């Protein structure tokens, strides 16, 4: 978040600080709630900016960066421990705070997507400003025959004090990374870092597993096929 300080006194104070002085943080994201629909690709972010200083600030231009990470595939089967990264195609992007529309732009870089928004409303000392960002990003969903997963990147250039990220679907939740008690991940992310949350869902009524469901399912199926094949060969070799 590029922050413009509108208090002349604070600007002069910062200008007179010695070179080795510690720069005080002027803002953070006190609350970041993100809901991703793994069926439609709809993403809804509710973000609360917090002014940490005793002077008004104008947030200015902020960015949300998206990147798709998925395993390489052979036919339709994903390969474990492989990764491909690329930009995410987003549509129907909008941002607002109450009835106030917030200008947004989308930029596609080499292997990531930038959603840029502009907030020129001053935030009072120690105050907050909450806005909502919505868009569709079907690229975040990795769809298979019996399983589908969504991997969501979250990060900012200011501290995120409390992140609540939830992935929802009409299918059954089978796996999350990091591991969670349900489908909601709560975390704290420092500035200039990015974190990824993955949720996997299955059409099959499977419980939540410690490993990816598609790995467990296809692995068990392969073992079963091999076991049946060996049993049939042994049966044929039995003398009559």
Residue 11 within a domain = yes
Given a cut of 90, whether residue 207 has pLDDT beyond it is no
CA–CA distance, 102 with 133 (Å, rounded to integer) = 9
Quote the domain boundaries for residue 57.
4-211
Whole-model pTM?
A: 0.77
Return the pLDDT at 40: 94
Per-residue model confidence as pLDDT tens digits over 94-151: 999 999 999 999 999 888 888 999 999 999 999 999 999 999 999 888 888 888 989 8
Given a cut of 90, whether residue 163 has pLDDT beyond it is yes
Residue 232 within a domain = no
Return the C-alpha torsion angle 74, 77, 81, 82, nearest 10.
40
31 Cβ contact partners less than 8 Å away, ≥ 6 residues apart:
46, 47, 48, 130, 161, 162, 164
Residue of higher predicted confidence among 36 and 183:
36
Residue 219 within a domain = no
Residue 227 within a domain = no
Of the candidate ranges 12-26, 136-150, 158-172, 197-211, the one whose mean pLDDT is the lowest: 12-26
Return the pLDDT at 44: 97
Residue 225 within a domain = no
Residue 223 within a domain = no
Return the pLDDT at 114: 87
Residue 220 within a domain = no
Structurally, the chain folds into a number of domains equal to 1
Per-residue model confidence as pLDDT tens digits over 9-54: 333 333 444 545 456 688 899 999 999 999 999 999 999 999 999 9
Nearest-Å Rg of the Cα atoms of the chain is 24
Q: Which of 174, 185, 178 is nearest to 148 (CA)?
A: 174
Q: Identify the CATH number of the domain in which residue 41 sits.
A: 2.60.40
User: Is-contact 133 104, C-beta < 8 A?
Assistant: yes
Residue of higher predicted confidence among 197 and 12:
197
CA–CA distance, 86 with 109 (Å, rounded to integer) = 9
Return the pLDDT at 239: 63
């Amino acid at each position: 978040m590029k922050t413009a300080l509108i208090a002349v006194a604070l600007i002069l104070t910062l200008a007179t600080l010695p070179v080795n002085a510690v720069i005080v943080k002027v803002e953070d994201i006190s609350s970041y709630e993100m809901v991703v629909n793994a069926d439609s690709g709809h993403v809804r972010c509710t973000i609360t900016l917090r002014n940490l200083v005793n002077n008004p600030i104008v947030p200015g231009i902020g960015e949300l960066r998206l990147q798709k990470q998925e395993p390489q595939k052979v036919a339709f089967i994903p390969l474990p421990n492989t990764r491909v990264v690329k930009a995410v195609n987003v549509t129907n992007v909008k941002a607002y705070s109450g009835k106030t529309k917030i200008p947004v732009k989308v930029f596609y870089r080499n292997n990531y997507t930038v959603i840029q928004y502009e907030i020129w409303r001053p935030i009072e000392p120690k105050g907050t400003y909450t806005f909502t960002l919505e868009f569709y990003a079907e690229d975040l969903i990795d769809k298979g025959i019996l399983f589908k997963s969504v991997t969501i990147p979250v990060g900012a250039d200011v501290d995120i004090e409390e992140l609540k990220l939830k992935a929802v679907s009409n299918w059954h939740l089978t796996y999350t990374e990091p591991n969670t008690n349900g489908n909601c991940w709560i975390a704290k992310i420092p500035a200039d870092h990015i974190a990824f949350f993955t949720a996997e869902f299955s059409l099959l009524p499977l419980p939540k597993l410690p490993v990816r469901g598609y790995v467990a399912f296809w692995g068990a199926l392969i073992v079963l096929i091999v076991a049946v094949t060996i049993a049939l060969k042994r049966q044929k070799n039995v003398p009559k």
